[in-house]
Amino acid sequence: MTESEFECQEKIRRLAVKIVKHYRGRGPDNVKVRLENSPVITVEIKGILSNLSEILMEEGAEKLVAEYWKILKSHLEKEYMSELKEALGGAFTYTWRILNLSPADRRIVVQLNTSV
């Protein structure tokens, strides 16, 4: 990995931590950033839900948490899109999904595509 790739990876990791801290009140448990030899950057974040969301999930209110995330996603995009664009050096698209709903292994995967 080149120095510039490492710097990009660290910028994205620090920004992911900052975003999670914004809505969760504390940082995530773990953030992994993978730069493949393509325009796709994969960010895997473990420890993403707030305490309230964790309680709601334990009580079976997954639909309520999903609705909450729709609102939160829009808010986070407004707050951090320009900062992320700057970290990536330009325009991008992204997709995200929750990989596992069990509390012990719940994580979100965000894929950033910089070939826009």
The total number of structural domains in the chain stands at: 1
Residue-level pLDDT at 68: 86
Report the predicted TM-score, pTM, of the whole model to 2 decimal places: 0.84
Residue-level pLDDT at 54: 85
Mean of pLDDT values over 1-22 = 90
Please give the residue that has the higher pLDDT: either 21 or 37: 21
The domain in which residue 19 lies consists of 3-113
Residue 15, φ and ψ in degrees, nearest 5? -70, -40
Nearest of 56, 41, 21 to residue 114 by alpha carbon: 41
Q: List, for residues 47-95, the tens digit of each pLDDT value.
A: 888 888 889 988 989 889 888 888 988 999 999 999 999 988 899 999 9
